[in-house]
Amino acid sequence: MTGGRLRGEGLLALWGNADPEQDAGFNDWYTHEHLPERIAVPGFLRARRYVADLPGPAPHWTYLTLYETDTLATLSSPGYLRALDTPTEGTRRYLPLFGAMARTGCRVTYSAGTGEGGDIAFVELGPRADPDALRRWIVDEHAPAVLDRSGVLAVHLAEADPDATAVRDRTESYRGVPTTAGRWLLLVEGATVDPAAARERLAADVADLEAHGADVGGAQLFRLLARLTPDRQRPAP
């Protein structure tokens, strides 16, 4: 049992926007074709897709997708490279519509919790000076304190791996598709009933991270749209 922990050692995260005029088709492709295709790749353990929390200020990003993988090496495995090099017609049409897309392959540094939340606070950050000091503070002090809050179910820290991220650059799916990459990702899964209070907590967490040496590139609340796990038969005992 993993409880609220991420299910593997690797994490692939994508976030950005879509063309509003083609949003319905984009969502149908993503949910009904793209997620099942990706979760069928050996080593992909869970896919979750999120949309920006609707109440409140206009979001910086509209969508977030998280893929949990068995190891970091899964993100450059033959099965995944084969999927990236043989895009479907839907992928050729809709992937370029994922505007201002950031795509980052990460190694999971820390993951703890008791369950899966229906919403997630997403923070993209990097260390301003001493990465070890920032990592220690997040893992030893910040994350445990966040886990003690009412409604918080899990906290994860993942750090970008340049090689796992750069895999996209030599595949057919991403030919001509502009992307950027993140650095560290801090993810807080929750069961939020008060979005305004959640936004206040997120703003306070960003200030705390910055006070402890983090350069925060963006922070936002998302709610869960879809969750898929592999439909694979277990081998006979």
* pLDDT over 50 (residue 236): no
Computed over every residue of the chain, the mean pLDDT equals 93
Q: Which pLDDT value is given to residue 18?
A: 86
* pLDDT over 70 (residue 234): no
Average pLDDT over residues 142-146: 98
List beta partners, residue 227.
Answer: 48
* pLDDT over 70 (residue 237): no
Average pLDDT over residues 98-102: 89
CB distance 68 to 49 below 8 Å: no
Confidence of residue 54 (pLDDT cuts 50, 70, 90): low
Provide the token pair at 210.
């910055």
Cβ neighbours of residue 142 closer than 8 Å, sequence gap 6 or more: 205, 208, 209, 212
The pTM (predicted TM-score) of the whole model is 0.94
pLDDT tens-place string over residues 115-136: 999 999 999 999 999 999 999 9
Domain boundaries, the chain: 10-228
pLDDT tens-place string over residues 29-51: 999 999 999 999 999 999 999 99
Q: In whole angstroms, give the CA distance from residue 88 to residue 108.
A: 30
Q: Which CATH class is domain 10-228?
A: alpha beta
Q: Which pLDDT value is given to residue 34?
A: 97
Q: In whole angstroms, give the CA distance from residue 158 to residue 104.
A: 10
Q: Which pLDDT value is given to residue 53?
A: 78
Q: Which span out of 33-37, 51-55, 98-102 was modeled with the highest average pLDDT? A: 33-37
**Residue 26: its H or E element:** helix 23-29
Confidence of residue 100 (pLDDT cuts 50, 70, 90): confident
List beta partners, residue 177.
Answer: none
Q: Which CA distances in Å does 10 have to 83, 96, 219?
A: 18, 25, 21
* pLDDT over 90 (residue 77): yes
